[in-house]
Structure 1
Amino acid sequence: MIRKLALVTAAVLVSGTLVLPSAATAAPAAVKTLNVDYQVQVTGYYCGPAATRIALSARTQNLPGQDDLAAQLGTTENGTDHISQVVTVLNNDLGTTWYETKEMPSDPPSQEQKDLLWNDIVKDIDNGYALVANIVAPPDNHPPGYPNETIYHYFTVIGYDTDARTVQIADPANFGGNQIYWLGFDQLASLIPPKGYAA
């Protein structure tokens, strides 16, 4: 009798007919990651080309080499100047207009900027696009394995976990052997200012 009452409670009465609820629509996955072709950056200043290549690999197997991407990005021994260059190369190489430059000038970022970043991560990963972030990591705010100095760097965001509020990073620098790792979202948001990201 208790089971019958529970069933009726979950049902709906339509025009005098008892209608049982249909199977629930599947909720979005709490954890989602992209399959990518990971490569370590081949020079100390190729993080931009390597991170861009990792992002491209989520969408295509027709991947340029890091030297070719460095030429497209205008990368020099001083690195890749601005995230907008990554946006241009991602869109050109994928034949899309998906990617946009997202600036995060406020340090610390505003709640609005953090909300936009999280929404961009979920939307992009759900649609099969990896993000590229340009970060500034001071010694007191390092991802795992970073040397004890301020690091100016590009890496790729390839997944998210909504329950743990973390993101999966493919880090071309391979600091301390950490190639692909999970990072708290709040830490990611604190690393991007005053730079930006491609999403």
Structure 2
Amino acid sequence: MSYLYKPRHQNQSPAPSRFRVLPIAAAAAVLGVTAAVGVAVHASTPTPVADAQSVTAADPSGTGVGPAGRDRQRTQAAPDAASAPSKAPAGTATSKPATPAPPAAPASPTKPAAPAEKELAYRFAWQENFYYCGPAATRIALTARSMYPSQSEVAQSLHTTVNGTNSADDTTRSLNEYTKSSFYKSHFIPGQSATQAEIDQMQADVVNAITNGYAVVANIAGSTVDDKGNSHSYPGGHYLTVVGYLDGGKTVKIADPADALGVGYYTLTTAKLAHWTALRGYSA
């Protein structure tokens, strides 16, 4: 029996098309297409999203924009004040700089209130003769200013005669000459009795004079009664000195150089003194 040798691959079925051997040129074309398709597929593949921890680490605000990005956004949205233009655009209202308020005027010093009562230090002396009441009362007032002329010297200043001293104008002039001042003024009560306004004025004048260290000389006439009920009468007129006050000036202390009681001083209301001075006047 004869044996015919046949290669085994000749009897096998043809290989599937995917395993077919292609010519070199065709294979190269297939490889080029495959590479192009691979690139396209790779480009369209979504980028993997980082987990929450990596997002927080990259952007603490959770906005997905890094620090550098946020800085750029802030710079674009709100430019720095230093780089903003200093001049407002035309037509824009601008506020004027505030005008500084003028300094406040210094407060005027407050005059201290007068004490409720005060008495001057003075040196008393009885009048030397019956017509020296003016010189004696004026001299008592001067001793409150530490001045001690004789009654005769004061009489010459007052132009006093045996008829007495003319008026309060004379005591005012003499007191200003001795004290070298213009403190004293003459005040007159022309009516038969003092009005309430004249009483108030005398009270204010007495308080002002005594507070400033000046005694008051009053020219009186007629009769009155002091706070102790004692009567004092000078029908022809008389001069006496106010050397102090009490009750805010409602009561006065009198130094009388011709006091018939021999005491030399007493107190009475300012209202009584004002009525006693009616038709005459006083220096204060």
For Structure 1 versus Structure 2, the TM-score category normalised by the shorter chain is 0.7 to 0.9
Q: Distance in 2 between matches of 1:90 and 1:82?
A: 13
Aligned positions of 1:1-199 closer than 5 A: 28-61=114-147, 63-138=148-223, 141-143=224-226, 144=230, 146=232, 150-162=235-247, 165-199=250-284
Q: 1:28 Cα deviation (Å)?
A: 4.0
Residue 100 of structure 1 deviates from its aligned partner by 0.7
Distance 1:125 1:33 in 2: 7
8 Å contact 2:189–2:198 — kept in the other structure? yes
1:167 is paired with a residue whose SS is strand
Instruction: Provide, for residues 40-98 of structure 1, a one-character-per-residue CA deviation record: whole Å limited to 9, x for no partner.
Output: 0000110000000001111123x210011111111111100111010010000110000
More deviation, 154-163/37-46: 154-163
Give, in whole Å, the separation in 2 of the partners of 1:28 and 1:118.
12
Deviation at 1:162?
1.6
Partners in 2 of 1:156 and 1:164 — Cα distance?
Answer: 15
TM-score (norm 2): 0.57
Cα distance change, pair 64–163 in 1 and its aligned pair in 2 (3 A): closer
Q: How many residues align?
A: 171
Is the deviation greater in 92-101 or in 176-185? 176-185
Relative to the length of structure 1, the TM-score reads 0.80
More helix by share: 2
d(CA) in 2 for partners of 1:183, 1:151: 20
Q: Which amino acid in the other structure matches residue 265 of structure 2?
A: I
1:102 alignment partner, SS class? strand
Q: Quick one: distance in 1 between partners of 2:119 and 2:245?
A: 6
Q: What percentage of residue pairs aligned between the two structures are identical?
A: 39
SS in 1 for 2:274: helix
Larger relative contact order (CA 8 Å, sep ≥ 6): 1
- Counterpart CA distance in 1 for 2:192 and 2:207 is 23
SS at match of 1:150: strand
Secondary structure at the aligned position of 2:177 is classed as helix
Unaligned residue ranges in structure 1 (runs of 5+): 1-25
Amino acid at match of 2:160: T
Q: Contact 1:145–1:178 at 8 Å: present in 2 too? A: no
Give me the whole-angstrom Cα distance separating, in 2, the residues matched to 1:106 and 1:151: 17
Q: Aligned to 1:175, what secondary structure does the other structure show?
A: coil
Q: Helix, strand or coil for the counterpart of 1:72?
A: helix
| Letter aligned with residue 158 of structure 1 | V
1:163: Cα distance to partner?
5.7
Residue segments in structure 2 that go unaligned for 5+ positions in a row: 1-111
* CA RMSD between the two structures: 1.9
Structure with greater strand share of residues: 1
| Structure 1 residue 32, shift from structure 2 partner | 0.7
CA distance in 1, matches of 2:155, 2:280: 19
SS in 1 for 2:261: helix
In 2, Cα distance between equivalents of 1:171 and 1:74? 21
Task: Please give the secondary structure, in 2, of the residue aligned with 1:154.
Answer: strand
